[in-house]
Structure 1
């Protein structure tokens, strides 16, 4: 296991990461929208739809899913580009050949289900921030309380920072954050040292803002259905633009939808092997204790021409 990620090697092996003007599909939630906004503003990527493991919603019918980069969800197909933060590997002996073009910090570092407590502690958005910094993208961030509250919110980052600080610091070292330019280095230093009182105050403000938009507290992390909740999602999109200073076109109107077969089971070696044998489109190891700790997506026969 490497002490620090070799960003040059990663960017050499995954050359597509440097490309601009790529069509992307993101998760329909807070982290997904932050990822989309970041990549739209700094890399001119184009938001073309949403995928949450059950539903793929796009602006137009696709020829194949390989057309898109998927953010905040890893796609288990060797020809599909994706970036996510989920725990994916059962053990070091587990081979995952279909993740050829998937960029995932747990896979890169060799963290498996046998090391659940050491899994990547941030959201996909935070990984993208560091990735772009190592690509020499210059950021202009005003680190006010509002922005810090927003960056603490996705994927329960605030809870992780308060409860698993040792793992947080370990991952910051592995990502080489100390060597990044001031805006990003300072941001992560502020996040890693945040006080409980500041977290509570910031999230109270953010919770009020999100409730005004239409998200209830139980809607964490602001999941939405693109076909039903687009006005609410559009309001969240505008709110994020206002508080980050990053600009982007309006959210795309959904014109095509595909529904997949979502399944979940207990996270065990046998169920994990059975899941891989079914060639899932995506999957995640979400909990080692819950009965549904392994969640995965299968492709119906009628949709396989788009995914296989």
Structure 2
């Protein structure tokens, strides 16, 4: 986000420990890759956070400032667990921002972006679900950075396996 939107990293939160720069306010931050259940906190996450959409808690509005793909598509664990978001937060961010701002994805970034959050495993284990989400994120649009990652001309299935193998051997994970 610092490279694309000129944001500054002002803290860290792992779900237990919160560290912020001195005088920084939580309400002025955006927490990435974290579903935060506080209506005054802005966050972007991608985990399944609702069991039954027909029985939402009274304080469900606490997710009002959370960009959450499963919430956007009204998916819950009870009825749509097999269709939950299968990619990483970075892919969601690229899908959203990439429609407003040009983001170049270098060939050398494809393997790390496929490795993130086990995405490459999900592509092969749950192709129908992954394709549904890529369609939802407009990844087939040639101008989308997701197109470069998922619909590129660089890799056949076998060359992708070789590239991922080389990536893992380098220990750059």
Range into which the TM-score falls when normalised by the shorter chain: 0.7 to 0.9
Q: Unpaired runs of 5+ in structure 1?
A: 1-38, 211-221, 223-308
Please give the TM-score of this superposition, normalised by the length of structure 2. Answer: 0.85
Whether 2:36 is the aligned partner of 1:72: answer: no
Over 6 Å off, 4+ runs: none
| Secondary structure of the structure 2 residue equivalent to 1:153 | helix
Equivalent-residue separation in structure 2 for 1:187 and 1:66 (angstroms): 33
| Secondary structure of the structure 2 residue equivalent to 1:78 | coil
Please give the TM-score of this superposition, normalised by the length of structure 1. Answer: 0.50
Equivalent-residue separation in structure 1 for 2:32 and 2:51 (angstroms): 22
Whether 2:82 is the aligned partner of 1:117: answer: yes
* Superposition map of 1:193-204 within 5 A: 195=157, 198-199=160-161, 201-204=163-166
Structure of higher RCO (CA pairs closer than 8 Å, 6+ residues apart): 1
**Aligned residue for 2:170?**
208
Equivalent-residue separation in structure 1 for 2:13 and 2:43 (angstroms): 12
| Secondary structure of the structure 2 residue equivalent to 1:179 | coil
Q: Using the TM superposition, give the Cα deviation of residue 147 of structure 1 relative to its aligned residue in structure 2, in angstroms.
A: 1.8
| Secondary structure of the structure 2 residue equivalent to 1:178 | coil
Q: Are the equivalent residues in 1 in contact too, given 2:94–2:145 (CA < 8 A)?
A: no
Whether 2:38 is the aligned partner of 1:101: answer: no
CA RMSD of aligned residues (A): 2.3
Equivalent-residue separation in structure 2 for 1:112 and 1:170 (angstroms): 16
Q: Are the equivalent residues in 1 in contact too, given 2:113–2:149 (CA < 8 A)?
A: no
Equivalent-residue separation in structure 2 for 1:204 and 1:92 (angstroms): 43
Residue correspondences, number: 168
Q: Unpaired runs of 5+ in structure 2?
A: none
Equivalent-residue separation in structure 2 for 1:182 and 1:53 (angstroms): 31
